[in-house]
Chain A
Amino acid sequence: MAGRRILITGVSNFWGARLAARLAADPAVAHVTGVDTRPPGPALAGRIDFLEADLLDATLGPLIRAAAPDVVVHNDIVQFPEPGRSAGRLHELNVIGTLQLLTACDALPALQAVVVRGSASIYGSEASAPAFFTEAMARRYPLRTRFQRDVGELENLVEAFERRHPRVTCTMLRLQPVVGPGLDTPVTRLMRLPVVPTVLGFDPRVQLLDAGDSVAALHRAALHPVRGAVNVSAPDVVSLRRALHRFGRPAMPIAHPLYAPVISATRSLSGLRGVTPDIVQYVRYGRGVDTTRMRDELGFAPRLSTLQAIERVLADGERPKAAA
């Protein structure tokens, strides 16, 4: 298995840069190629090959063929607008970008595995949901938000690719929300506020994944891919209220219909850019997943529990954060 050639899309984002650094240092990896629209930080210079390319561009195919990877890690999946990427481009990137990438992969004879950084939001956040979704329970509920529909569509694309290429192992990682010091997501933004807005009368069960563990999971899957979907999360589930209570963080309950309007109205105060429907639904009902497959088949165990991951986010203070 020695001497893998790995290609990472979205190499300049939070996960891409860290994964590329880890893989470049791994003796089992012969070569790392990174693809993105903007160059990665100076730390990666000289250690990986960087291809400046847009997944939506027709030039992608020849570039990827020239790199001749045996593992493709599709990491260019975005849930939130970030500097350089507008909200309108998210769908393009998530769905059409995946389509273009997989089309380019059709022409790679040596390809052995495709690993996708997907999302557990395909399960949704629902009042009556099973407390622990297993991988077989995707799409039990309608996909309500734009990001959920994107994830649904990109899972379809990957499944279709797997049918076309039965030899290629396709791993769909379904990550629970990733939090960590130095990472800026809508979930961490809420958690870092001096007073955390919660939904009046509700207490979601939350299950999270530490940012470092999320990179380690991608690393593991790139070298030991398994077929099909795998939930990736810290195994423990806590209620939001208990986590806040535990770390002495005051909560401000807001009645559900007013949640998004109040956060928009206090934008200047909180520094939040508003909340998406995904987040409103999530802080109301939460979500838990079953991690048996991650442990037994992917052979991966996160180092930090949900509670520890929350503690680390709350403790990191005012350090600069990278947008995810």
Chain B
Amino acid sequence: MTPFGLPAVARDLRAAVDAAAHRLRGDWEEDEWGYDAGFADAVDPLLSFLYDRWWRVTATGVEHVPRAGRALVVANHAGVLPWDASMMATAIHRGVGRRPRFLVLNWAFELPWISVAVRRFGGVPASPFNALRLLEQDHAVMVFPEGAKGVGKPFSRRYRLERFGRGGFVELALRAGAPIVPCAVVGSEEIYPKLAELPGVARLFGAPYMPLTPTFPLLGPLGLVPLPSRWRIEFAEPIELSGYGPEAADDRALVLELSELVRGRIQQKVYENLVTREGAF
């Protein structure tokens, strides 16, 4: 393994940014969602840098994501910027050679530049209509049912999964006949350790919450640089739902039961990976 020295990191980062800027010039193609395959390729060097050098991600079980056809990847969530989604997408791209789409907290689409970058990388506003349409087009879709509750929780509650909404993701999977791939992400909780909240500032910016971290807002924009924690991402065996049929989506009891099953499985995998990971940095 390469030594984790600052000059090497700076050199790699520069190379990654140059490569990305180079590929972004010129015409590009995009699909009806605003996803741009060329953009995803262009930011690959940057994400690879984060994946290999910054967060030193270990991904396991990627083969559980099907190589083609619809699938709903369900994961725990942390950090208001969808870094966890980008790392999962990188793992899936490397492992099974496809670019997943993902649902992003709506607030991100009100941010200048970030909204455009997220969309071109495959993010869509977190609406069940978007998810269903993507699944029907046979995409692999990543969702984070904890939503804003997950990203906004204090550091002391890290790795304890919040409620999984109202089980909407199970309804989607049932309606679309897509398998659910539970996914546990360990490491994302430490990148922006939230010590306290600044609700007044959050209201000022229309943000769902405004965190106070050891570096933000103390260091200004530099405080947005995520901490280099060590990550593990595990994809568990898929839960096949096609046997139930699309009508089962209206069966509340079944939906809540499956939702709890998926949440339990992710929580268990999170704990397992925390033990395997040993140190956070």
Task: Pick out which of these stretches binds chain B: A76-84, A185-193, A233-241.
Answer: A233-241
> Which residues of the other chain, B, contact A130 by a CB distance below 8 angstroms?
125, 127, 129-130
A202 partner, pick from B30, B32, B115, B124, beta carbons under 8 A: B115
| A246 and B106 contact, CB distance less than 8 A | no
CA distance in complex: A131, B107 (Å): 15
Please, which residue of chain A has its CB at the minimum distance from the CB of B126? A128
A245 within 8 A of B: yes
Interface flag for A137 (CB, 8 Å): yes
Q: Give the interface centre of A127, A241, A245 by most chain B CB atoms within 10 Å.
A: A127
| Inter-chain contacts of A237 with B (CB < 8 A) | 32-34
B227 located at the interface, meaning its Cβ lies under 8 Å from any Cβ of chain A in the complex: no
Could you tell me which residues of chain B, from 120 to 147, have a CB within 8 Å of some CB in chain A? 124-127, 129-130, 133
- Chain A residues with CB under 8 Å of B119's CB are 203
Task: Give the residues in chain B near A288, CB-CB below 8 Å.
Answer: 32
The answer to whether B113 has its CB under 8 Å from any CB of chain A is: yes
Q: Is the CB of B27 within 8 A of A246?
A: yes
Distance between Cα atoms of A46 and B252 in the complex (Å): 64
Q: Which of A128, A239, A241 has the most CB of B within 10 A?
A: A128
Q: How many residues of A contact B (CB 8 A)?
A: 25
**Could you tell me if B133 and A129 are in contact, using CB atoms closer than 8 angstroms?**
no
A129, B116: Cβ atoms closer than 8 Å? no
- Give how many A-B residue pairs fall within 8 Å (CB-CB): 64
Contact B27 A131 (CB under 8 A): no
Pick the most buried of B27, B107, B129, B133: most chain A CB atoms within 10 A of its CB: B129
Query: Is B133 in contact with A245, judged by CB distance below 8 angstroms?
Result: no
Q: Which residues of A contact B27 (CB under 8 A)?
A: 242, 245-246
Residue interface bits A124-156, CB-to-B below 8 A is 1, else 0: 000111111010010000000000000000000
- Of residues 9 through 58 on chain B, the ones whose CB sits less than 8 Å from some CB of chain A are 27-28, 30, 32-34
Q: Please, how many angstroms separate the alpha-carbon atoms of A238 and B124 in the complex?
A: 15
Q: Is A200 an interface residue (CB 8 A)?
A: yes
Q: Is B110 an interface residue (CB 8 A)?
A: yes
On chain B, the residues within 8 Å of A128 by CB distance are 106-107, 109-110, 125-127
Q: Give A200 to B129 CA distance when docked, in angstroms.
A: 28
Which label, helix, strand, loop or mixed, suits the secondary structure of the A interface? loop
B116–A202 touching, CB < 8 Å: yes
B205 to chain A, nearest CB (A): 13
B221 at the interface (CB under 8 A from A): no
Asked if A42 lies at the interface with its beta carbon under 8 angstroms from chain B, I say: no
The answer to the question of A205 belonging to the interface, with a C-beta cut-off of 8 Å to chain B, is: yes
A41 at the interface (CB under 8 A from B): no
In the bound complex, do residue A131 and residue B124 qualify as a contact, i.e. CB atoms below 8 Å apart? yes
- A201 beta carbon closer than 8 Å to chain B: yes
Q: Which of A127, A239, A245, A256 contacts B34 (CB 8 A)?
A: A239
Chain B contacts of A202 at CB under 8 A?
112, 115-116
A205's nearest neighbour on chain B, judged by CB, is B34
* Cα distance A241–B126 in the bound complex, in angstroms: 23
Q: Which residue in chain A gives the minimum CB-CB distance to B110? A: A127
Could you say which residues of chain B place their CB within 8 Å of the CB of A290? 133
Which residues of B have CB within 8 Å of A200?
112
A202 to chain B, nearest CB (A): 6
- Some 16 contacts from A to B, beta carbons below 8 A apart, are A127-B109, A128-B106, A128-B125, A129-B125, A130-B125, A132-B130, A137-B129, A200-B112, A236-B32, A237-B33, A239-B34, A242-B28, A246-B27, A256-B112, A288-B32, A290-B133
Apart from A131-B130, A201-B116, A237-B33: 9 A-B pairs, beta carbons within 8 A:
A127-B115, A128-B110, A131-B33, A131-B124, A131-B129, A201-B111, A201-B112, A237-B34, A285-B109
**Residues of chain A having any CB pair with chain B under 8 Å:** 127-132, 134, 137, 200-203, 205, 236-239, 241-242, 245-246, 256, 285, 288, 290
Nearest 9 CB-CB pairings of A with B: A201-B112, A128-B106, A130-B129, A127-B109, A127-B110, A130-B127, A201-B113, A128-B125, A237-B32
